[in-house]
Amino acid sequence: MSKSILEYSVADLEHLFVSYKQPKFRAKQVYEWLHKHRVTSYDQMTNIPKALRDLLEADFPLGKPAIVDRQVSSDGSRKYVLRYSDGSLVETVGLPSFDKNEQIKRLTVCFSTQVGCAMECAFCATGKEGFTRNLTALEMVDQINVVETDFDCRVTNVVAMGQGEPFLNYDELMKALRILNSPDSFNIGARHITISTCGIFSGIEKLSDEPEQFTLAISLHAATQDLRNGLMPRVSNQPLRQLKKVLGDYIRKTNRRVTFEYLLIKDINDQEEDLSALVSFCKNILCHVNLLPMNSIDGSDLQPSNQETCNHWLSVLEKNGIEATMRKSRGSDIAGACGQLKNKQAQ
Ligand code: SF4
């Protein structure tokens, strides 16, 4: 994969411009257009000569994605279907949190790392469409740019939890996260950048060697092997017992807490024995559990657990000394589950 122009430092650009026989001072100007002004076309670089803009366009096309659908939920979240230049579609979600004056105090973007997904999770609309291709770092960053522009508000948090398994596109993901984290660019603090994975061991191990304090979230959804195999068939080769060991090593090495995501699905993974299995899985792991009633998806019989069950799970986890939060399901009025809006677009 060729390097994205956004990965170039000023010194890298100076080097490049020497090879273009262009003055070095243009490097800082181009860098600022890209990172400070976040332009999506070289034509917006008004103080850069056309000849240099043409060279850059030929070698590093910026190609902004088109918004082909945009839905606004009554809770303020916005879901977008974006189309890249090759026709690929992905979903991106902007999730604002408001202060008491109804001003946005936090804007989180849930972005996609792949077009489609190979993981086939039973509760996910994207899993039903299969894998098409990996996204480049630039294509990931473009999603954050789209949301920031649309809300006209700085993005404060990002989570790689849209379409795709982030650790199956590790290198491009890391490039994107570093751009988002860079003080010269989006300047989003590493702890406000979350990677949500099904639990790919190799990715967890590599992440433990990275210097940044990115947050690791594991889509757990079941703490017994047979149930998890049914819900997440493609990680049956990454068994829970070993996952616990890999996470133990990760925590020892990084001193960082891990988040477990657990979608509560009525009569499937919300029984008393499932709760006991989760409590026992969390023992001796520095973790936080995010419970979330699932969003219903078209063509699936799976339904969210009821409120009483959700409250019971939260209280049992807390009684067992496990930090837990009940997340509100957001955007259910705009095809809230991952992949649903895009699938509607593709119909
Ligand atoms: S939940 Fe995530 S990993 Fe699983 S199929 Fe959907 S997009 Fe892929």
The two tokens of residue 334 are: 């705009």
CATH number at residue 161: 3.20.20.70
The string of pLDDT tens digits covering residues 313-332 is 999 999 999 999 998 777 66
* Residues 333, 289: Cα–Cα separation, whole Å: 25
Return the H-helix or E-strand segment holding 115: strand 114-116
**Together in a domain, 96 and 14:** no
What atom in ligand 1 is closest to the CA of residue 120? Answer: 5
Residue 251 carries which side chain, given as an amino acid letter? I
- pLDDT, residue 181, reads 97
Closest CA to 290 of 218, 208, 184: 218
Strand pairing report for 193-197 and 215-219: parallel
- pLDDT, residue 7, reads 87
pLDDT tier at 335, thresholds 50, 70, 90: low
The string of pLDDT tens digits covering residues 180-213 is 999 989 999 999 999 999 999 999 999 999 999 9
- pLDDT, residue 116, reads 95
* Domain end marker among 59, 75, 105: 59
Top mutation candidate among 112, 115, 121 for ligand 1, by most atoms within 8 Å of CB:
121
pLDDT over 70 (residue 76): yes
| Residue with CA nearest ligand 1 atom 5 | 127
pLDDT tier at 62, thresholds 50, 70, 90: confident
**Together in a domain, 76 and 22:** no
The string of pLDDT tens digits covering residues 274-305 is 999 999 999 999 999 999 988 877 777 889 99
CATH number at residue 15: 1.10.150.530
* Domain end marker among 41, 59, 77: 59
Strand pairing report for 66-72 and 78-83: antiparallel
What atom in ligand 1 is closest to the CA of residue 114? Answer: 7
pLDDT over 80 (residue 2): no
* Number of structural domains found in the chain: 2
124 lines ligand 1 (CB under 6 A): yes
pLDDT tier at 222, thresholds 50, 70, 90: very high
pLDDT tier at 19, thresholds 50, 70, 90: very high
* Residues 56, 52: Cα–Cα separation, whole Å: 6
How many other C-beta atoms are found inside a 10 Å radius of the C-beta of residue 134?
A: 18
**Together in a domain, 43 and 168:** no
**Together in a domain, 135 and 153:** yes
Q: Where are the alpha helices (DSSP H) in the chain?
A: 10-19, 26-35, 50-59, 137-151, 170-181, 201-207, 225-231, 240-254, 272-282, 307-319, 340-346
How many other C-beta atoms are found inside a 10 Å radius of the C-beta of residue 238?
A: 18
Give the range of the structural domain holding residue 17, as residue numbers without chain letter: 5-59
- 116 and 126 in contact (C-beta within 8 Å)? yes
Residue scoring higher pLDDT (329 or 78): 78
* Residues 288, 307: Cα–Cα separation, whole Å: 20
- pLDDT, residue 135, reads 97
Residue scoring higher pLDDT (104 or 331): 104
**Together in a domain, 25 and 111:** no
- pLDDT, residue 299, reads 73
Distance 197 CA to ligand 1 centre (A): 9
- 110 and 93 in contact (C-beta within 8 Å)? yes
Q: How many residues does the chain have?
A: 347
Dihedrals φ, ψ of 335, to 5°?
A: 55, 65
- pTM of the full structure: 0.91
